[in-house]
Structures are given as C-alpha cells and as structure tokens.
C-alpha cells in the first residue's frame, strides 16, 4: 500500500482545504473532481488543464487509483457480479442489475459484515474491515464502464456486502461524492441506503443527507426478529420504527421495508397481518424477497402460494407491495449471497 492520502477519501470541501494547504487555488479541487469522477481519470497525466508542476506534485503526494476488477460473472438474466481486489488484497463484490432503460449498481460498504443476520451469507464471514470512501465510490466509477453501450447506471443502492450505517463517515462521504455536481452528479432520489436497523444512525443520516432509506425488517415481532437479526436486541422494532417515523423523507418519497420471506418461519397470513398493523402510519412500501438458499443455511425458500398470500394481505391493507424477483441467483449475486470470493 502506498500510504499516501487518497483524493477520493475527500469531499469537495476537504479537497479544497487540502489544496489550499499546498498553496493552490481552491477551484483546482473542482477541476480535479471532474477528472476523477466524471471522466474516470486513473492518472494525473491526463489532467491537461493542470500545470505539469502541480500534476507532478500531486503524483508524489496523493493516490487516485480505484479498486481493480478481477472477475466479472454474468447471469442468464443479464445481472453482472463484479469482484474487486482492494489495495490490501481484500476482495469485495458489487452487482450490476439491468433494467428497461437503466442499470442499478449495488455497492458494498464493508469487507464482510459484523451484523450476523442469519439469512445472509455475507454475515457468516464476519467483519474484516470498513471500506474507505474511495473504495465505495471507486466501485461505481469502475462499474460505469461495465454496462453495454448506451445503457448507463441510473440508480445506486448501498445493499451489497456490509452494513452502510456501521461505516457511517465513509458511507456519507461516498454519498456526498456521488451527489456532488463536481462528483458523479447523481440526484439524492437515485441513491438508496439499506440498513439492518441501527436506529440512531438512521436519524443521523436523515439530518446529514436526504437519500432513500430501505430498512431490512424481516419479522413482525421482536422475538423472531432478534433470532434472525442480532441488532434487534440493541434496537428493537419499536425503536427502529420510531427512527423510521423520524426520518425526514422528502416530498412524496416513501420509505422501503425489505422483508425476506423464509419458508415456515415468517411467511404466514397471520405474520402479514401483524406486519400491516406494525407499519400503520408510516409512508412506506414493502419489498418481499423470497429467501435464496445458500450452502449451510438453516432456512428454506417460501412456497409460491405463501408469497402470493403474504403479498395479498399487505395489498389489501393498502401498502404498495412488490415481490422482488431475485436477480443473478445462478451466479450467487442475489440478495444475501455476496461473499467476496
């Protein structure tokens, strides 16, 4: 590892301050940001609107390289799983999901994850380390070049390996660079942070930046949720839903609750009714995800009938409820299947 500071670990304001310390004009940061994020520059040599002397100085002092793609697998449904090698040898995965006119990039925020959700393969690995902001944003910079000609990445979801809110500062910096006019220029409407339910960080995120929020709920009561998701012992459903109520979703946007349906565990009509009561008063929609079995998992996939019945109860209760088709199952790119291997 070079040990040099990485420019993509800095927000625009931080880069301006860094350049000012070097005796350079603050507007240089805007120039450099555009090269890094909009033109995907991987070397200072191409930054021809900077003086040779400044480029040489930057080369000596800072790093700008993005994680390297070491493997790409493509599913029969077109979903691509991309394996990245980080500077220290660790590996993480991202997923590119094709839509009608646009692609969605699902990015990782940690190497592994400490949260230990029982239905998730990433959770079995444990946490190796947090990703730096440059490693989060670097996945997207590389992925933009992996879509077919004419199709671009329009949505970003932080739903890959790791719990984004457990790596709060770096995740926030990455989001700032996704959404900066001098960065990647995404609207905050196109960014979704998915969390297992770190209640105080949900509230903090709402104060710091207004992106879409998806909360992984997965059970209609504390007993079963604590079994599935250890975080529930710290922030039980009541605390989590209060944080969701306090989350300032702008305009007509809706919060999303993710619910992984596990066969014979949380997929009955009674469970759906309980869930409908629980979410009353929250402007939200529900995504149902049929569990993807993985080697050694103790749960099984729900039956198609159970999925249909569960959805119908929520629809009848007035919730927009979508059964998310799992993409990329054949290449282990579906929800909860990422391992970085």
Q: Which residues bind ligand SF4 (CB under 6 A)?
A: 113, 115-117, 120, 122-123, 161-163, 196, 216, 336
- Residues whose CB is less than 8 angstroms from the CB of residue 136 and which lie 6 or more positions away in sequence, other chains included: 107, 108, 109, 158, 170, 171, 174
Q: Are 111 and 127 in contact (CB under 8 A)?
A: yes
Is 247 or 294 the residue whose CB approaches ligand SF4 more closely?
294
Q: How far is the CB of 325 from ligand SF4 (least distance, A)?
A: 19
Is 123 or 220 the residue whose CB approaches ligand SF4 more closely?
123
Is 10 or 214 the residue whose CB approaches ligand SF4 more closely?
214
First to last CA, the chain: 21
Residue 122's closest CA among 175, 164, 75, 88? 164
Q: How far is the CB of 196 from ligand SF4 (least distance, A)?
A: 4
Q: How far is the CB of 336 from ligand SF4 (least distance, A)?
A: 6
Half-sphere exposure of 203 (CA within 13 A, CB side): 10
Half-sphere exposure of 155 (CA within 13 A, CB side): 17
- Residues whose CB is less than 8 angstroms from the CB of residue 10 and which lie 6 or more positions away in sequence, other chains included: 18, 133, 173
Is 162 or 302 the residue whose CB approaches ligand SF4 more closely?
162
Q: How far is the CB of 240 from ligand SF4 (least distance, A)?
A: 13
Catalytically annotated residue among 93, 135, 163, 258? 93
Catalytically annotated residue among 196, 284, 332, 335? 335
Is 220 or 340 the residue whose CB approaches ligand SF4 more closely?
340
- Residues whose CB is less than 8 angstroms from the CB of residue 30 and which lie 6 or more positions away in sequence, other chains included: 12, 182
Question: Could you confirm whether 93 is annotated as catalytic?
Answer: yes
In this chain, which residue has its C-beta nearest to ligand SF4?
A: 123
Q: How far is the CB of 23 from ligand SF4 (least distance, A)?
A: 44
Is 118 or 249 the residue whose CB approaches ligand SF4 more closely?
118
Token pair listed for 133: 């902001």
Bridge partners (DSSP) of residue 286 are 257, 321
Categorise residue 327: left if φ over 0, alpha if ψ from -120 to 50, beta otherwise: beta
Q: How far is the CB of 120 from ligand SF4 (least distance, A)?
A: 3
Question: Could you confirm whether 120 is annotated as catalytic?
Answer: no
Give the whole-angstrom CA distance, residue 196 versus residue 321.
Answer: 19
Categorise residue 202: left if φ over 0, alpha if ψ from -120 to 50, beta otherwise: alpha
Q: Are 194 and 157 in contact (CB under 8 A)?
A: yes
Is 115 or 191 the residue whose CB approaches ligand SF4 more closely?
115
Residue 334's closest CA among 67, 68, 76? 76
Q: Are 206 and 246 in contact (CB under 8 A)?
A: yes
Residue 272's closest CA among 305, 304, 238, 309? 309
Q: How far is the CB of 89 from ligand SF4 (least distance, A)?
A: 21
Active-site residues, by number, are 93, 335
């Amino acid at each position: 590892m070079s040990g040099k500071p990485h420019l993509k670990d800095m927000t625009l304001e931080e880069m301006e301050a860094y350049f000012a310390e070097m005796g350079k004009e603050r507007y240089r940061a805007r120039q450099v940001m555009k090269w890094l994020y909009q033109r995907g520059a991987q070397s200072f040599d191409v930054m021809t609107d900077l003086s040779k002397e400044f480029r040489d100085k930057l080369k000596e002092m800072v790093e700008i390289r993005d994680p390297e793609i070491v493997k790409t697998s493509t599913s029969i449904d077109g979903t691509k799983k991309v394996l990245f090698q980080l500077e220290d040898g660790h590996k993480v995965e991202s997923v590119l999901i094709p839509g009608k006119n646009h692609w969605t990039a699902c990015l990782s925020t940690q190497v592994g994850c400490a949260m230990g959700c029982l239905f998730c393969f990433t959770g079995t690995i444990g946490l190796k380390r947090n990703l730096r902001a440059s490693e989060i944003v670097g996945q997207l910079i590389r992925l933009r070049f992996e879509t077919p000609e004419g199709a671009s990445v329009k949505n970003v979801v932080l739903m890959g390996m790791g719990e984004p809110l457990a790596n709060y500062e770096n995740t926030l910096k990455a989001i700032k660079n996704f959404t900066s006019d001098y960065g990647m220029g995404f609207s905050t409407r196109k960014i979704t942070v998915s969390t297992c339910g770190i209640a105080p960080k949900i509230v903090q995120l709402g104060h710091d930046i207004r992106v879409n929020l998806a909360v992984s709920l997965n059970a209609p009561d504390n007993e079963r949720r604590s079994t599935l998701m250890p975080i529930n012992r710290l922030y039980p459903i009541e605390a989590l839903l209060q944080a969701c109520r306090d989350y300032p979703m702008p305009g007509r946007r809706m919060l999303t609750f993710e619910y992984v349906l596990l066969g014979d565990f949380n997929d009955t009509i009674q469970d759906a009714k309980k869930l409908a009561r629980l979410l009353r008063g929250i402007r939200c929609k529900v995504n149902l995800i049929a569990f993807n079995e993985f080697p050694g998992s103790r749960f099984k996939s729900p039956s198609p009938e159970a999925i249909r019945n569960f959805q119908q109860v929520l629809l009848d209760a007035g919730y927009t409820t979508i059964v998310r088709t799992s993409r990329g199952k054949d290449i282990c790119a579906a929800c909860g299947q990422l391992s970085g291997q």
